[in-house]
């Protein structure tokens, strides 16, 4: 769809050479044809009025009017009484849809994991916080940002992480970043500068960890996860000096790293002079258990705690933080400075306002109740429509793991469900190794209503139970 410019729209600079023997009208027609052919002016896009374009280019209005008339005759432009002159829909470069997107057609009900309830984003609270930040921000903070992040947000974040996550947090060790993914890249670059060559990741685990590690230039090795969390003995048998893990609610299996494994992991890091990268992605949302503190609180010199508001508020905000070991803070901030000169300050101050005022915690409490209802709906839907399917990893977060029959084929089930406009997601897409594993589905319920959850499970129940 064309962009609908409000008001007079932006300028349209066109090359006009008054020293050329070519007539000015011919130059203008040629420039406009080229703008349409190359897509500079998109199909259906509104052109400036003849009066405005003439004034901008220093030409007579009559010359521009004649030029528009000629291009209408050639089929480049269209107009109607009382309406602006626009680029004809049939004009412009041909665009094959497959060139622009390779995504499959969207499904009607998508059990995609890691997507929060986007409809519950606290728009009014965020808008008020942004307005207050704009009104109260000192003039000096509007310059190039401190690569560590706004001091106010770092102070509030450090206090919040100490209180809520049991972290050993200090503002000087906190770097604000554009979400978790950037925080991970900055930290891995700092570790590479420090001589780290190999990073370990959980298997199954976040599919992005492998390409991020490779992009930074590190070797990436997979360490198996069982019902107690990452296998620390297997980790110790490698030459890795860094490991990325999700101890509070393993992604995607949902298991919690046991106390014994936590202590073994910290002992490994101390003996190896290694760094544990703790992805604290959804620890706020828990149901049937007491809060699980961050591993960072056990060994702040060896653990970096990464978090963001992507699950608690919305991914579009692109706000996160890296609570780093003291010896890595300056290097992480330096890489942040090189990456983008710092995250948007007004948004940082708005987040600080939400945290400090208690609005953020009120929102989290509301979302826990909402996700708990959707979790219950998923349990009930499977009990009703597919009673043979066991659900795992339900103690926290907004996804669960469905255990399929031993001889089920994940890919066949996923493809068949998509033909019914239901999005299912197999565990195999989270695995780095090709070893035969039990077939499972990772069912996200965060961005689905309870009615959609019941309907989606009803539509695919026969696929889930097929032997």
The answer to whether residue 427 is domain-embedded is yes
Q: Residue 247: inside a domain, yes or no?
A: yes
Query: Which of 335, 360, 385 represents a domain boundary (last residue)?
Result: 360
CB 235 within 8 A of CB 244: no
Q: Which two tokens stand for residue 444?
A: 């996200």
Is 15 inside a domain boundary?
A: no
**Is the same domain home to 299 and 337?**
yes
Residues of the chain with pLDDT under 50: 96-102, 467
Residue 272 and residue 180 share a domain:
yes
Torsion of the alpha carbons at 63, 65, 70 and 73, rounded to the nearest 10: -170
pLDDT of residue 318: 96
* 165 and 113 in a common domain: no
Q: Does residue 71 fall inside a structural domain? A: yes
The answer to whether 121 touches 315, Cβ cutoff 8 Å, is no
CA distances from 55 to 14, 81, 202, 390, 392 (A): 12, 22, 63, 71, 68
pLDDT score at 9: 75
Same domain, 308 and 450: no
Q: Are both 87 and 231 inside the same structural domain?
A: no
The CA-atom distances, in angstroms, between 207 and each of 203, 210, 211, 309, 375 are 9, 6, 8, 20, 24
Read off the CATH number of the domain in which 63 is found. Answer: 1.10.10.10
Number of Cα atoms under 13 Å in the Cβ half of residue 405? 14
Residue 435's pLDDT is what? 60
pLDDT given for residue 317 in this prediction? 97
Please tell me whether residues 368 and 280 are part of one structural domain.
no
Same domain, 315 and 254: yes
pLDDT (0 to 100) of residue 98: 43
Is the Cβ–Cβ distance between 443 and 431 less than 8 Å? no
For residue 258, the model assigns a pLDDT of: 95
Query: Which one of 97, 130, 148 terminates a domain?
Result: 97
State how many domains the chain has.
3
| pTM for this predicted structure | 0.85
Q: At 150, which CATH number?
A: 3.40.640.10
Asked whether residue 273 falls in the same domain as residue 390, the answer is no
Q: How far apart are the first and last CA of the chain?
A: 46
What CATH number corresponds to the domain at position 402? 3.90.1150.10
Point out the domain boundary residue: 336, 360, 384: 360
Identify whether residues 273 and 152 lie together within a single domain. yes
- Tens digits of residue pLDDT in 401-453: 999 999 999 999 999 999 999 999 999 999 988 665 789 999 999 999 999 99
Question: Which residue segment(s) compose the domain that 56 sits in?
Answer: 24-97
Q: Is residue 319 part of a domain?
A: yes
């Amino acid at each position: 769809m064309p962009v609908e410019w409000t008001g007079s729209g932006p300028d349209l600079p066109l090359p006009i050479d008054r020293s050329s023997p070519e007539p000015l009208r011919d130059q203008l027609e040629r420039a406009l044809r080229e703008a349409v052919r190359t897509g500079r002016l998109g199909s259906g896009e509104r052109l400036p009025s003849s009066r405005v374009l003439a004034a901008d280019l220093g030409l007579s209005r009559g010359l521009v009017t004649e030029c528009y008339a000629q291009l209408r005759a050639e089929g480049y432009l269209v107009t109607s009484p009382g309406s602006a002159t626009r680029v004809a829909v049939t004009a412009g470069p041909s665009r094959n849809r497959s060139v622009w997107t390779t995504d499959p057609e969207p499904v009607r009900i998508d059990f995609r994991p890691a997507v929060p309830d986007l409809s519950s984003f606290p728009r009014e609270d965020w808008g008020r916080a942004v307005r207050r930040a704009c009104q109260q921000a000192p003039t000096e903070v509007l310059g190039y940002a401190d690569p560590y992040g706004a001091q106010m947000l770092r102070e509030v974040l450090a206090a919040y992480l100490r209180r809520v996550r049991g972290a050993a947090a200090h503002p000087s060790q906190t770097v604000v970043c554009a979400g978790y993914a950037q925080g991970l890249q900055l930290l891995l670059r700092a570790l590479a500068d420090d001589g780290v060559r190999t990073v370990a990741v959980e298997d199954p685990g976040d599919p992005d960890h492998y390409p991020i590690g490779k992009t930074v230039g590190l070797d990436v090795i997979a360490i198996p996860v069982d019902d107690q969390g990452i296998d620390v003995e297997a980790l110790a048998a490698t030459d890795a000096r860094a490991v990325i893990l999700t101890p509070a609610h393993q992604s995607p299996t949902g298991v919690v790293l046991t106390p014994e494994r936590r202590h073994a992991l910290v002992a490994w890091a101390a003996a190896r002079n290694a760094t544990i990268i703790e992805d604290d992605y959804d620890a706020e949302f828990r149901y049937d258990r007491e809060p699980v503190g961050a591993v960072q609180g056990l060994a702040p010199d060896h653990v970096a705690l990464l978090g963001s508001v992507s699950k608690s508020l919305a991914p579009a905000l692109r706000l996160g933080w890296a609570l780093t070991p003291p010896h890595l803070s300056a290097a992480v901030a330096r890489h942040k400075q090189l990456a983008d000169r710092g995250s948007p300050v007004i948004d940082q101050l708005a987040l600080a306002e939400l945290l400090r005022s208690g609005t953020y915690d009120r929102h989290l409490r509301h979302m826990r109740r909402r996700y708990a209802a959707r979790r219950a709906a998923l349990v009930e839907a499977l009990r009703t429509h597919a009673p043979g399917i066991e659900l795992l990893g339900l103690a926290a977060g907004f996804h669960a793991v469905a255990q399929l029959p031993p001889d089920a084929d994940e890919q066949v089930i996923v493809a068949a469900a998509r033909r019914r406009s239901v999005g299912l997601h197999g565990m195999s897409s989270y695995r780095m190794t090709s070893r035969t594993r039990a077939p499972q589905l990772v069912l996200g319920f965060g961005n689905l209503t309870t009615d959609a959850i019941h309907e989606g499970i009803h539509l695919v129940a026969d696929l889930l139970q097929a032997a």
